[in-house]
């Protein structure tokens, strides 16, 4: 079922948690709400669930206005960060709970409830554990029980609050892949909250990046990573470097020299240059960024170098194939970003990318 959030505002006391947030979630989509703590992502999820009520605004489930309905009437599945399993009930009773509490006229037969619960436990790969209590399960198993319990009521939308937050790295990765498979098989419209960008980019069809109670950007993982619309998104998603630069007659200057990047249509003045560590090429000579390597780390297939561009600037990080980078400290390195973006004050003003080539450097800045 599609979910439309329209101009939602939420205040806790006098502190605004969300300001004028609108979001369309398509039917069957897997959407991630991504942001640092305090960005309002969990509040938005709880508003969709009906666990909180909005100060202003409307939420539609399909064509129905859900904002007037209570959480019981909305028929959602909610998975809590710490699972919130009923500790005095067996796994089977936990999963059947949503069906057992239905009024008699909508409640399936006891045998039918049991069959459905067992089917769900099979789906989440917990067959044979139905008689256990939550305390006798591992974290990953509890998480799956929580998911099966939420799916048992055949929810309009499945909402997950930091579903993998309390698990260790290995289990997280497994469950992530597994959740994607479950989603592809069952087709529930699913929204999950995370502060882990890797999780969001890997798992979601679309990612909603939030900051300070507002949505910064909505897009596919590719969009978000390759075309961040604001300095916040650039900085929050993936690794990035930012440098204070100056624009002069269409050329970008770093400290006292041009670095060979052009933003032709832009007026003169200060700006901030963003680029990712892997979007660089090594160059000879000048007209580029140059500095001393202060530290080098080998990370799997690449070498990460920390480069000091000057005493007043924070060091930048670049990534190179190991064979191209010497691991020794204090060697000199000259490079130039191949994909970059220039931000000025509030919004972005220019971005550019070049094909990394050994001969001739082509630059294609595009103003916005």
Contact 16, 213 (CB under 8 A): yes
Show the site string, 308-327: x = touches other proteins by CB under 8 A, - = not: --------------------
Q: Which is nearer to other proteins, 94 or 353 (CB)?
A: 94
Q: Is 86 in the site for other proteins (CB under 8 A)?
A: yes
Q: Is 361 in the site for other proteins (CB under 8 A)?
A: no
Determine the Cα–Cα distance for residues 330 and 113; give it in Å rounded to an integer: 69
Q: Which is nearer to other proteins, 6 or 100 (CB)?
A: 100
Show the site string, 331-350: x = touches other proteins by CB under 8 A, - = not: --------------------
Query: How many residues of this chain interact with other proteins, rule: CB under 8 A?
Result: 30
Q: Which is nearer to other proteins, 26 or 86 (CB)?
A: 86
Residues 146-175 that bind other proteins (CB under 8 A): 149-150, 152-153
Longest Cα–Cα distance in the chain: 81
Contact 202, 25 (CB under 8 A): no
Strands 76-79 and 157-161: parallel
Q: Is 115 in the site for other proteins (CB under 8 A)?
A: no
Q: Is 76 in the site for other proteins (CB under 8 A)?
A: yes
Selection from 73, 74, 69, 115 nearest residue 96 by Cα: 115
Q: Which is nearer to other proteins, 41 or 149 (CB)?
A: 149
Number of alpha carbons in the 13 Å side-chain half-sphere of residue 68:
2
User: Which range of residues in 57-65, 98-106, 294-302, 339-347 is near other proteins by CB under 8 A?
Assistant: 98-106
Q: Is 110 in the site for other proteins (CB under 8 A)?
A: no
Residues 1-20 that bind other proteins (CB under 8 A): none
Chosen residue from 68, 87, 115, 131 binding other proteins by CB under 8 A:
87
Please enumerate, as own/partner, the contacts of 237-240 that have beta carbons within 8 Å and a separation of 24 or more: 237/197, 237/201, 237/209, 238/197, 238/276, 239/276, 239/277, 239/317, 240/274, 240/275, 240/276, 240/277
Q: What are the angstrom distances between the C-alpha of 163 and each of 17, 37, 66, 118, 346?
A: 21, 15, 24, 22, 33
The distance of closest approach from Cβ of residue 136 to other proteins in the complex, given in angstroms and rounded to an integer, is 9
Q: Which is nearer to other proteins, 155 or 352 (CB)?
A: 155
User: Which range of residues in 86-94, 168-176, 200-208, 229-237 is near other proteins by CB under 8 A?
Assistant: 86-94
Q: How many helices (H) and strands (E) does the chain have?
A: 9, 22
**Which residues are at the interface with other proteins (CB under 8 A)?**
49-51, 70-72, 75-78, 80, 82-89, 97-98, 101-102, 133-135, 149-150, 152-153
């Amino acid at each position: 079922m599609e979910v439309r959030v329209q101009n939602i505002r939420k205040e806790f006391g006098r502190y605004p948690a969300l300001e004028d947030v609108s979001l369309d979630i398509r039917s069957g989509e897997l959407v991630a709400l991504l942001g640092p703590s305090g960005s309002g992502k969990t509040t938005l999820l709880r508003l969709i669930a009906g666990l909180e009520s909005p100060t202003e605004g409307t939420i539609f489930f399909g064509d129905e206005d859900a904002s007037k309905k209570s959480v019981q009437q909305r028929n959602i599945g909610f998975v809590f960060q710490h699972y919130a399993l009923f500790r005095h009930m067996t796994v089977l009773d936990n999963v059947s709970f949503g069906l057992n509490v239905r009024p008699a006229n909508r409640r399936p037969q006891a045998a039918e409830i049991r069959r459905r619960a067992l089917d769900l436990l099979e789906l989440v790969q917990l067959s044979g554990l139905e008689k256990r209590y939550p305390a006798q399960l591992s974290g990953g198993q509890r998480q799956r029980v929580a998911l099966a319990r939420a799916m048992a009521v055949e929810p309009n939308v499945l909402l997950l609050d930091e579903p993998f937050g309390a698990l260790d790295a290995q289990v997280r990765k497994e469950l992530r892949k597994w959740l994607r498979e479950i989603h592809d098989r069952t087709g529930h419209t699913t929204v999950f909250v995370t502060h882990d960008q890797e999780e969001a980019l890997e798992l979601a069809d679309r990612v909603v990046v939030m900051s300070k109670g507002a949505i910064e950007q909505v897009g596919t993982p590719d969009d978000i990573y390759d075309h961040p619309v604001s300095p916040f998104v650039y900085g929050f998603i993936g690794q990035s470097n930012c440098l204070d630069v100056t624009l002069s007659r269409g050329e970008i200057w770093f400290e006292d020299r041009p670095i060979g990047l052009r933003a032709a249509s832009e007026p003169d003045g200060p700006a901030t240059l963003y680029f990712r560590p892997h979007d660089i090429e090594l160059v000879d000579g000048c007209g580029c960024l140059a500095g001393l390597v202060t530290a080098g780390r080998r990370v799997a297939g690449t070498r990460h170098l920390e480069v000091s561009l000057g005493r007043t600037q924070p060091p930048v990080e670049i990534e190179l194939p190991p064979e191209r980078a010497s691991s020794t400290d204090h060697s000199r390195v000259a490079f130039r970003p191949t994909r970059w973006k220039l931000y000025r004050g509030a919004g972005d003003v220019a971005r550019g990318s070049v094909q990394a080539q050994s001969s001739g450097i082509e630059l294609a800045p595009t103003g916005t």
